[in-house]
Structure 1
Amino acid sequence: MAPQTSETLTAERILEATEEVLRRHGPAKATVVDVARALGVSHGSVYRHFRTKAALREAVTKRWLDLTSQTLSGITADEGRAPEARLRDWLTALFEAKRRKAGDDPELFATYMVLTADSGTAVGEHLADLTGQLTSIIEAGVASGAFATADPAASARAVFHATGRFHDPGYSEVWERPGIEDDFTAVVDLLLHGLRPQRPS
């Protein structure tokens, strides 16, 4: 890797290098010195962007989580589509994003499971963002008459927890099992049925 000058060394470049170091060494052995060596700079240069090793780990964890949030936010903001379709697509995109991360880069996925467990505020902020996006979709459904709930935020949290098997990293081992897509569809169908206004019998 070409040495970085002070002008080209950015926080983003440091985070990219940190991912490579974590992939190679794992969270227990990776150090700031390893990151600096990968970038061809002194460890002091890295510390100018991230004051501590904990701050660097928090930032790289947040970057990883934000990639998922950004993908989902586009679905949330698409007000030209029906809320029910947006909710189904949002949950599908979340499941697919987590499966992709676990399947395409298992070493880094395992590393991030460790980092998120140790993370200070990044995970809490990520979960709040996701449930906030769900709340926005459900509120749109209530406004259009597609959904009926007195508390969209509580319903959003319920939907998020009810689908946890399909996005919580703790369940990653089951994501490639036969029939998992059918299980996912059944759960989402049930949730959407529960959100719709109930017709008199």
Structure 2
Amino acid sequence: MAPETLTPERILAATEDVLRRHGPAKATVVDVARALGVSHGSVYRHFRTKAALRGAVTKRWLDRTTARLAEVVAADEPPAVKLRHWLSTLFEAKRHKAGDDPELFATYSVLTGEQNDVVDAHIAELTSQLTAILQQGVACGEFDISDLPATARAVFEATAHFHDPVYAPEWSRPDAGPAFDAVVSLVVRGIVACRPGVS
């Protein structure tokens, strides 16, 4: 049987496995190449440096959440409902990542600290999604917002306690859900237009 073609996706999947086993401090490109049964030069043909590989695997990890959130943006829901849905999907995605595989979450917390450009692009994409939801609300008269990008950023920062990894140890607390609901309700009340029946 012919050997499987070496693709960036295969390299990134192997890199994630290596990171899970060895952690970010000890994982090397040689370890990734060994896991794939290729030379480290073959890996470098796809990712020119170790930093580029780590940046790509970090982006891949973050993009899983972004893709789920994009589905919410495209959903056929009233904007206020969609905003709550988007924020709860973000919170649940982060909470599951932290709780389901704590070692890998800790690894990626280290990597995101190293990959400022990747993280900045991720946050820009998330706030762009928020802006799209807010724009939908303004267009149908449900939201009263004068500066969409600034408001999207404010919503993102106001809910940071429920998606910034620094707060991960608190996400499993019994009061985390009610606290999240209270913050989201406050945020939504702050942007809805003053008309009956919208909450």
Identify the TM-score tier after normalising by the shorter chain.
Answer: over 0.9
1:146 and 2:153 are equivalent in the alignment: no
- Residue 53 of structure 2 aligns with an amino acid whose one-letter code is L
Q: Is the 8 A contact 1:14 1:35 kept in 2?
A: yes
Whole-Å separation in 2 of the counterparts to 1:146 and 1:120:
35
Pairwise CA distance, 1:198: 3.2
1:196 and 2:192 are equivalent in the alignment: yes
Whole-Å separation in 2 of the counterparts to 1:9 and 1:192:
47
Whole-Å separation in 2 of the counterparts to 1:43 and 1:154:
45
Q: TM-score, normalised by structure 1?
A: 0.94
Aligned with residue 17 of structure 2, among 10, 17, 20? 20
Q: Percent identity?
A: 64
Question: Over aligned residues, Cα RMSD in angstroms?
Answer: 1.4
Aligned with residue 42 of structure 1, among 39, 43, 62? 39
> Which stretches in structure 2 are left out of the alignment for 5+ residues?
none
Instruction: Quote the residue 1:70 is aligned against.
Output: 67
Pairwise CA distance, 1:8: 1.3
Pairwise CA distance, 1:104: 0.7
The count of corresponding residues between Structure 1 and Structure 2 is: 195
> Which stretches in structure 1 are left out of the alignment for 5+ residues?
none
Pairwise CA distance, 1:126: 0.3
Whole-Å separation in 2 of the counterparts to 1:108 and 1:13:
18
Pairwise CA distance, 1:85: 0.7
1:29 and 2:35 are equivalent in the alignment: no
1:115-154 equivalences in 2 (<5 Å): 115-154=111-150
- Residue 68 of structure 1 aligns with an amino acid whose one-letter code is T
- SS of 1:133 mapped into structure 2: helix
1:199–1:146: structure 2 CA closer, same or farther, 3 Å change rule?
Answer: closer
Whole-Å separation in 2 of the counterparts to 1:54 and 1:166:
28
Whole-Å separation in 2 of the counterparts to 1:52 and 1:106:
27
4+ long deviations beyond 6 Å = none
